A and B are shown apart, each in its own frame.
Chain A
């Protein structure tokens, strides 16, 4: 698979995305209050917190679905004005959804091919002919997509309509579709939710491989504390829309507020986190 095109010229460790004092309200509900954090190029940044903490809303702010009432977002050194999701896509931000958002009527192959849309340029005329340059372009991108299919080990379901796939595979196809965009920043919203242990392990491996081999920067929302502690370089913790902790997994794990708000709950229920940490 190809490494994402590095158009920004940022080095690993430079700030890729900075979120400053962002607040977002829906009617009266405050989903995010005054949250600041940054994501550095090449890292895996976990965002954790209980349900309703505002994690998904935060990703929606980053890729332009929601527009925060206050605060600034700086991406690749540019403080951005109000922007649309398709603009975020063209700037190299890709994303998977908490509830799978695949194109249900299309095959695995076509779903992932849609991820190449921005990189395909032949217009209506050539598309009508599906010949010469149009076919060459189609095949060039099919090759990239086949590499992704290879990487995710989904060769057998290439031609299957995604609506017929089990949930775990759908999540994998959705990751493939995001990868097809060759993103610089990959936002994963609970990529392992509802998966069995084996599927989770596979998914962890894909995430680590992406990060190690291709240097893809990843923001990861995940509930499984074992996974979070293993995978991530740094963790930001949200609760009721506020940031309550930020730092390396070890620091966050030891934070009293975090233990109260989050880990404490799990420990109370006999610590499934311990169990998954062992895997």
Chain B
């Protein structure tokens, strides 16, 4: 009974077309943003900020990127990590060639490089879809990773073969490099992720998002509405890869601090795909749920024995974590194949009619 739209009549189509038409949703969102921007920086410790929240947000951004492509446009991709790598290496090159330009500019610009590469590797989608397209994007993944290893210009011929993040500042405050505090890094990542999520939400609720979903659900009928398949699919690849590219650049610059090509291997592609599937295909909030389940849950489980005062060997905890997370993933997929986002919807529906069952 607390969560319901009764009595909230929309006076205009603008109000009804709003992304959160229900007041309680808007309040909930405001509370979450307040906690994220004020509560966590004030009260969170270094571990929470640097090892939990920053990676969670960056992975969620990558998951949103993949979700735009796979969940909204229906194009299955296994090249996510490759596109993230393009963003990371582009940001690295740009920031070492033009160190005087602010690093945030380069992080966002790196998205365009990833978008261009993504669009090129999206070309096969004019002819193939489903698993065959997944295999084509897998080729992109391997090719890009090969470039990251072999093309030494990309990592400025470092003997280690890795890229190391230069220290950079914003308004005199260090945001990358060793002297950047976790709070600063967290706030920078949070701001970028929030703004880009808002933009993604705007896109998927408008004409372009509807075209993607139309192509996903019934491409023949979409063509009949005047939608040209190839441009729509390539746009999906480009926008998706932009998001992945920025996530990749953030990953190196504000999370890891340095990265080897192996950071962008096929495992990362699969992890992001898990997040999207478990969180919910075609749901932005689901991307956050998926990232939370896969990144935060194992950390929480690992901390549990200590918190309870049990002494279990580190290796055992590690094994247990794998088993519990794996079991939970299967449990969630069986309970709700449409992902955590759907469970969330169902939960809200229940709240709406509470305390009655219908």
A: which residues have CB within 8 A of B?
63, 65, 84-86, 88-90, 94-95, 97, 101-106, 110, 113-118, 120, 122, 124, 127-130, 134-135, 138-139, 142-143, 146, 177, 181
B: which residues have CB within 8 A of A?
12-14, 16-17, 19, 199, 202-203, 205-211, 213-214, 216-218, 220-228, 235, 239, 282
Known: A103-B218, A117-B210, A135-B17. A130 touches B226 (CB 8 A): no
Residues of B within 8 A of A110 (CB): 210, 213
For B71, the closest partner residue in chain A by CB is: A105
Closest Cβ of chain A to B232, distance in Å, is: 10
In the bound complex, do residue B17 and residue A142 qualify as a contact, i.e. CB atoms below 8 Å apart? Answer: yes
Picked from A89, A134, A138, the residue with its CB within 8 Å of the CB of B224 is: A89
Closest Cβ of chain B to A139, distance in Å, is: 5
Closest Cβ of chain B to A120, distance in Å, is: 5
Residues of B within 8 A of A101 (CB): 218, 220-221
Known: A110-B210, A124-B235, A128-B203. A89 touches B223 (CB 8 A): yes
Closest Cβ of chain A to B207, distance in Å, is: 5
For A158, the closest partner residue in chain B by CB is: B16
In the bound complex, do residue B203 and residue A127 qualify as a contact, i.e. CB atoms below 8 Å apart? Answer: yes
In the bound complex, do residue B223 and residue A84 qualify as a contact, i.e. CB atoms below 8 Å apart? Answer: yes
Chain A contact surface mostly: helix
Closest Cβ of chain A to B126, distance in Å, is: 13
Residues of A within 8 A of B226 (CB): 86, 89-90, 117-118, 181
In the bound complex, do residue A127 and residue B13 qualify as a contact, i.e. CB atoms below 8 Å apart? Answer: no
Residues of A within 8 A of B220 (CB): 65, 85, 101
Measured in the bound complex, the distance between the Cα atoms of B220 and A43 in whole Å is 27
Closest Cβ of chain B to A129, distance in Å, is: 7
Residues of A within 8 A of B13 (CB): 139, 142-143, 146
In the bound complex, do residue A105 and residue B203 qualify as a contact, i.e. CB atoms below 8 Å apart? Answer: no
In the bound complex, do residue A103 and residue B213 qualify as a contact, i.e. CB atoms below 8 Å apart? Answer: yes
Closest Cβ of chain A to B118, distance in Å, is: 15
In the bound complex, do residue A129 and residue B223 qualify as a contact, i.e. CB atoms below 8 Å apart? Answer: no
Measured in the bound complex, the distance between the Cα atoms of B19 and A101 in whole Å is 27
Residues of A within 8 A of B214 (CB): 103, 106, 114, 117
Residues of A within 8 A of B211 (CB): 114, 117
In the bound complex, do residue B224 and residue A120 qualify as a contact, i.e. CB atoms below 8 Å apart? Answer: no
Known: A89-B225, A103-B222, A113-B210. 5 other contacts (CB 8 A): A85-B220, A86-B227, A122-B206, A130-B19, A135-B14
In the bound complex, do residue B206 and residue A127 qualify as a contact, i.e. CB atoms below 8 Å apart? Answer: yes
Closest Cβ of chain A to B67, distance in Å, is: 13
A90, A101, A143, A146: residue with the most chain B Cβ atoms closer than 10 Å: A101
Residues of B within 8 A of A116 (CB): 207
Pairs A–B under 8 Å by Cβ, sample size 22: A63-B224, A85-B220, A85-B223, A86-B224, A94-B224, A97-B221, A103-B221, A103-B222, A105-B217, A105-B282, A106-B210, A106-B213, A114-B210, A114-B225, A115-B225, A117-B207, A120-B207, A127-B208, A129-B199, A139-B12, A139-B17, A181-B225
Measured in the bound complex, the distance between the Cα atoms of B227 and A113 in whole Å is 13
Closest Cβ of chain B to A114, distance in Å, is: 5
Measured in the bound complex, the distance between the Cα atoms of B15 and A138 in whole Å is 12
For A101, the closest partner residue in chain B by CB is: B221
B209, B218, B221: residue with the most chain A Cβ atoms closer than 10 Å: B221
In the bound complex, do residue A95 and residue B224 qualify as a contact, i.e. CB atoms below 8 Å apart? Answer: yes
Residues of B within 8 A of A128 (CB): 199, 202-203
Measured in the bound complex, the distance between the Cα atoms of B125 and A247 in whole Å is 46
Closest Cβ of chain A to B263, distance in Å, is: 29
In the bound complex, do residue A117 and residue B227 qualify as a contact, i.e. CB atoms below 8 Å apart? Answer: yes
Closest Cβ of chain B to A124, distance in Å, is: 6
Measured in the bound complex, the distance between the Cα atoms of B225 and A182 in whole Å is 11
Residues of A within 8 A of B14 (CB): 135, 139
In the bound complex, do residue A118 and residue B206 qualify as a contact, i.e. CB atoms below 8 Å apart? Answer: no
Measured in the bound complex, the distance between the Cα atoms of B203 and A116 in whole Å is 16
Residues of B within 8 A of A94 (CB): 224
For A130, the closest partner residue in chain B by CB is: B202
In the bound complex, do residue B217 and residue A104 qualify as a contact, i.e. CB atoms below 8 Å apart? Answer: yes
Measured in the bound complex, the distance between the Cα atoms of B208 and A116 in whole Å is 12
Residues of A within 8 A of B239 (CB): 124
For A119, the closest partner residue in chain B by CB is: B226
Residues of A within 8 A of B205 (CB): 130
Residues of B within 8 A of A84 (CB): 223, 228
B16, B19, B282: residue with the most chain A Cβ atoms closer than 10 Å: B16
Residues of B within 8 A of A124 (CB): 203, 208, 235, 239
A114, A135, A143, A177: residue with the most chain B Cβ atoms closer than 10 Å: A114
Closest Cβ of chain B to A189, distance in Å, is: 12
For B282, the closest partner residue in chain A by CB is: A105
Closest Cβ of chain A to B139, distance in Å, is: 27
Residues of B within 8 A of A129 (CB): 199, 202
Measured in the bound complex, the distance between the Cα atoms of B211 and A129 in whole Å is 17
Residues of A within 8 A of B227 (CB): 86, 114, 117
The 7 closest A-B pairs by CB, nearest first: A89-B226, A130-B202, A103-B217, A118-B226, A85-B223, A101-B221, A127-B206
Closest Cβ of chain B to A187, distance in Å, is: 10
B16, B199, B220, B226: residue with the most chain A Cβ atoms closer than 10 Å: B226
Picked from B202, B218, B223, B282, the residue with its CB within 8 Å of the CB of A86 is: B223
In the bound complex, do residue A105 and residue B213 qualify as a contact, i.e. CB atoms below 8 Å apart? Answer: yes
Known: A124-B208, A138-B206, A139-B14. A102 touches B225 (CB 8 A): no
